[in-house]
Amino acid sequence: MLALIRPDSWNLPLFVHVLGAMVLVGCLVCAGGALVIGWRRDSGALTWLAFRTLLLGALPGYVVMRIGAQWVYSREGFHGKLDAAWIVIGFLTADLGALLLLVTLVLTGLAARKLRAAGSGTSALGRAGGAIALVLVVAYVVAIWAMTAKPA
């Protein structure tokens, strides 16, 4: 029952971490949903919307989440040696997730630009970006499980 015994000094970093994570996951759901819905029609508008959501929502959300994670990590007195499995899962999903987030941002941005120039049609880059966004959502659900269930 960590919530019952958590020191007050962990609360602010934890709040920053969870707030950033909620914005990140929410924006990934928005972008992934828009890109999947745009696979067959209105691809240009929805890809543009997904790119803006990733750039203005998911990316800042990631930064806030990662700063909060490092902050709460240091407050809890961890030092990088023999970290518990749930911390390793958290770092893996956060750091690999950053790479995938940047990849989906670039792919979606290129797709939005191409579709805007073309005026209509669909884009394989946008589809790939949508698939990666949904993979990220699944990865972050696993991270939420690790953060809450805290496997040894």
Partner 1 sequence: MYDWLLFLHVSCAFAMVAGELLFATVFIARARLEGWAAAASLSRLSNLGEVTVTIGSIGVLVLGIWLAIYVDGYELWDGWIVAAIVLWAIYGAAGTRSRRVISRARDGAAELSAADSNTSAVPRVLALRVLIFAAILLLLLDMIFKPGA
Kindly tell me which residue out of 63, 125, 150, 152 binds partner 1, with binding defined by CB under 8 A: 150
Output the smallest distance, CB 39 to partner 1, in A.
Answer: 10
Give the DSSP per-residue string, 86-144: HHHHHHHHHHHHHHHHHHHHHHHHHHHHHHHHHSS---HHHHHHHHHHHHHHHHHHHHH
Q: Is 3 in the site for partner 1 (CB under 8 A)?
A: yes
- Residue 79 makes CB contacts below 8 A (sequence gap 6+) with none
Kindly tell me which residue out of 9, 15, 118, 124 binds partner 1, with binding defined by CB under 8 A: 15
What contacts 24+ positions apart, CB below 8 Å, involve 76-85? 76/10, 84/150, 84/151, 84/152, 85/146, 85/151, 85/152
Output the smallest distance, CB 78 to partner 1, in A.
Answer: 19
Q: Is 109 in the site for partner 1 (CB under 8 A)?
A: no
Q: Is 152 in the site for partner 1 (CB under 8 A)?
A: no
Q: Is 134 in the site for partner 1 (CB under 8 A)?
A: no
Q: Is 130 in the site for partner 1 (CB under 8 A)?
A: no
Q: Tell me the window of 88-96, 101-109, 122-130, 138-146 that interacts with partner 1 (CB under 8 A).
A: 138-146
97 is written with which tokens? 């997730």
Site pattern 25..54 for partner 1 (x: CB under 8 A): xxx-xx--xx--xx--xx-xxx-xx---x-
| DSSP letter assigned to residue 77 | T
Give the integer Cα–Cα distance in Å for 61 and 74. 20
Binding site for partner 1 (CB under 8 A): 1, 3-4, 8, 11, 14-15, 18-19, 21-23, 25-27, 29-30, 33-34, 37-38, 41-42, 44-46, 48-49, 53, 57, 141, 144-145, 147-150
